[in-house]
C-alpha cells in the first residue's frame, strides 16, 4: 500500500479525473494490475454489499500492505474468504451490546486517569494528538484487550517516547518490547476464552483462532483502534476549540447527562454525535477503501474482471457537491441534525461498507462520544494565542490520514 500512495503519479491522475473532470469512476493500470477508482454510490454498493461474495478481500491473495510476518493473518489483510469469515465470526461477539456496556465502565476509569494527567499540565498548551493518543491507547488496550499499561504510560508529556508507543509507529515490523507489552498478556486472555484451535482443524472450523491468528488480531485491533480514534478525537477537539459557540452548545447538551451506554447516541446527544460525524466526513481517518475482484462479475453494467482492484477515495466521496451540497468543503455539523438520514447515506462511509466494514465501529463511537462528553463537561478547550487554525488533511504513505501541522490546545478546568 505504501508504494501506491507514495506513487503520486497514479493518485494525481485519478484525483484529477474524478475531481476536475467531474467523473465518478476512473479506470487505469497500476503496473499490470487494473484499478478502478470510484465515488459512484451504485458501484460502491454493488461491490461492497450486493456482490460481496466476488469481492471479499481487500488485496489479491499474494498482496501485502507492507505488514510484517507477525501480523500477516490479521483480520484486515486476510485474503482467504473462509478464514476471514471464521476469524470475523470469532471476534464479532466481543463487540456486542453487553460487552460494550462493560467496556464503557473501563473507559470511564481511563478518563479519570486522563483528567488527572491533563490537570498536571496546568493549562500549558499541549499537542492534542498526545492527549487523544494516550486516551485511545489506554482505552483500546484496557477495554478491548484487558491490558493495563497505565503505570508504563503515566507521564503524558513523555507518552510519545515510551518504547511501546515508539514501536507502535513501526508496527508493521514490531520490536521485541512490543511483544512483551502487548502480545503476551493479550494472547493469554484470548486463549483463556477457549478459542484456541490448531492449524489443521482451522480449515473446516466455523469458529476459533490459531495461535498466529490470535497474535495477528491483537495487533490489528490495536493498530486499527488506536490511530483512527485518535484522529477522530484530535479533529473534534480542534473544531470545538476553534468554534467556542459550538463548544458551548455541546457543553449544554452533555453536562449533567448520565455517563451511560444508553445516552451515547444521536437521540440523547444529537449535537455531539453530529460534530463527530462531521469530523469523520471532512477528516476521514482511513483514506481509501479497497476490494479485490476474485471472480468476473457485472457491476452496474460494467464488467469487472478477476484481478481488478476497486478503490474508493473517501476524502473525495465525502466532499462531492452532488451529494453534500455547495457547502461540501465546510465544517457544518448541523447538516447531520437537519437530516439525520445522512448518517446512513451511501456517500458517508467513514467505517467502510458491507459485511467487511469496520468491526470496531460501535466501540469507536462510544469511546469518542464519552471522551467528548467527559472532557468538554470538565474543560474549556481553546486554541493558543497566535495559532493559525488552517489545518488540512494529508494522505500518509498508508491507509491513514494525518494533519498538515501539529494541533496544540489549552485544556483549562471549568
Ligand atoms: C474512528 C474510528 C475508526 C474508523 C474511522 C475506522 C475505519 C475503518 C475502515 C474504513 C475499515 C475498512 C472497512 C472496509 O473496507 O469496508 C476498518 C476496518 C477495520 N477496523 Fe476500523 N475504524 C475505526 C476504529 C476501529 C476500532 C476501535 C477497532 C477495534 C477495536 C477497529 C478495528 C477494525 C478491524 C479489525 C478492521 C478490519 C475488518 C475486516 O477486514 O473484517 N476499527 N476500519
Residue ranges in the chain whose pLDDT is less than 70: 1-9, 62-71, 144-194, 397-398
Domain ranges within the chain, ordered by starting residue:
2-379+397-405
Ligand 1 mean position, distance from CA 247 (Å): 28
pLDDT of residue 190: 52
92 CA to centre of ligand 1 in angstroms: 12
Atom index in ligand 1 nearest the CA of residue 356 equals: 41
Residue 174's pLDDT is 46
Separation of 88 CA from ligand 1 center, angstroms? 12
What's the gap in Å between 229 CA and the centre of ligand 1? 10
Kindly give the distance from the C-alpha atom of residue 351 to the centroid of ligand 1, in angstroms, as a whole number.
6
Residue to mutate (ligand 1; options 82, 358, 367, 370; most atoms within 8 A of CB): 358
Write down the pLDDT at residue 162: 66
pLDDT digits (tens, 9 = 90+) for 296-309: 999 988 889 999 99
CB-based pocket (< 6 A), ligand 1:
75-76, 88, 140, 144, 220-221, 224-225, 228-229, 232, 285-286, 289, 350-353, 356-360, 363-364
Whole-angstrom distance, CA of residue 338 vs CA of residue 139: 32
Specify the pLDDT at position 122. Answer: 82
Q: Write down the CATH number for the domain with range 2-379+397-405.
A: 1.10.630.10
Pick the atom of ligand 1 nearest to 95's CA: 30
Q: Whose CA is nearest to atom 36 of ligand 1?
A: 358
Q: Tell me the CA–centroid distance for residue 213 and ligand 1, in Å.
A: 17
222 CA from centroid of ligand 1 (Å): 11
Q: What is the pLDDT of residue 179?
A: 44
In whole angstroms, give the CA distance from residue 206 to residue 95: 18
Ligand 1 centre to CA of 221 (Å) is 8
Question: pLDDT tens digits for 200-218?
Answer: 878 888 888 887 888 788 7
Pocket test for ligand 1, best of 226, 311, 351, 401 (most atoms within 8 A of CB): 351
Q: Report the distance separating Cα 66 and Cα 172, nearest Å.
A: 7
Nearest residue CA, atom 9 of ligand 1?
351
Amino acid at each position: 500500500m505504501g508504494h501506491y500512495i507514495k506513487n503520486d503519479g497514479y493518485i494525481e491522475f485519478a484525483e484529477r479525473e474524478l475531481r476536475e473532470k467531474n467523473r465518478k469512476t476512473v479506470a487505469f493500470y497500476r503496473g499490470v494490475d487494473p484499478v478502478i477508482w470510484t465515488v459512484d454510490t451504485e458501484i460502491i454498493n454493488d461491490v461492497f454489499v450486493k456482490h460481496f461474495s466476488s469481492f471479499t478481500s481487500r488485496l489479491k491473495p499474494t498482496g501485502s500492505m507492507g505488514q510484517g510476518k507477525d501480523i500477516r493473518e490479521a483480520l484486515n489483510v486476510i485474503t482467504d474468504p473462509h478464514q476471514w469469515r471464521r476469524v470475523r465470526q470469532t471476534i464479532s461477539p466481543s463487540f456486542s451490546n453487553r460487552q460494550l456496556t462493560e467496556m464503557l465502565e473501563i473507559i470511564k476509569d481511563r478518563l479519570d486517569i486522563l483528567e488527572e494527567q491533563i490537570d498536571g499540565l496546568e493549562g500549558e498548551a499541549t499537542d492534542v494528538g498526545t492527549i487523544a493518543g494516550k486516551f485511545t491507547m489506554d482505552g483500546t488496550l484496557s477495554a478491548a484487550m484487558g491490558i493495563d499499561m497505565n503505570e508504563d504510560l503515566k507521564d503524558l508529556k513523555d507518552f510519545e517516547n515510551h518504547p511501546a508507543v515508539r514501536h507502535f509507529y513501526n508496527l508493521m515490523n514490531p520490536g521485541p518490547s512490543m511483544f512483551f507489552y502487548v502480545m503476551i498478556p493479550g494472547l493469554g486472555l484470548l486463549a483463556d476464552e477457549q478459542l484456541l484451535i490448531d492449524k489443521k482443524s482451522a480449515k473446516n472450523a466455523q469458529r476459533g483462532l490459531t495461535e498466529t491468528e490470535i497474535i495477528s488480531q491483537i495487533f490489528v485491533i490495536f493498530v486499527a483502534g488506536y490511530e483512527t480514534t485518535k484522529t477522530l478525537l484530535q479533529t473534534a477537539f480542534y473544531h470545538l476549540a476553534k468554534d467556542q459557540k459550538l463548544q458551548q452548545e455541546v457543553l449544554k447538551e452533555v453536562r449533567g447527562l448520565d455517563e451511560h451506554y444508553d445516552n451515547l447516541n444521536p437521540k440523547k446527544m444529537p449535537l455531539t454525535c453530529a460534530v463527530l460525524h462531521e469530523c469523520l466526513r471532512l477528516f476521514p481517518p482511513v483514506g481509501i477503501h479497497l476490494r479485490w475482484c476474485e471472480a468476473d462479475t457485472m457491476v452496474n453494467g460494467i464488467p469487472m474482471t478477476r484481478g481488478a482492484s476497486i478503490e474508493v477515495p473517501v476524502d473525495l466521496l465525502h466532499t462531492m457537491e452532488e451529494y453534500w451540497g455547495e457547502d461540501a468543503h465546510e465544517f457544518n455539523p448541523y447538516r447531520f441534525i437537519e437530516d439525520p438520514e445522512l448518517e446512513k447515506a451511501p456517500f458517508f462511509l467513514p467505517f467502510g461498507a458491507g459485511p467487511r466494514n469496520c468491526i470496531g465501529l460501535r466501540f469507536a463511537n462510544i469511546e469518542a462520544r464519552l471522551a467528548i462528553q467527559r472532557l468538554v463537561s470538565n474543560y474549556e478547550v481553546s486554541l493558543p494565542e497566535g495559532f493559525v487554525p488552517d489545518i488540512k488533511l494529508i494522505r500518509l504513505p498508508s491507509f491513514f490520514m494525518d494533519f498538515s501541522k501539529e494541533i496544540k490546545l489549552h485544556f483549562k478546568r471549568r
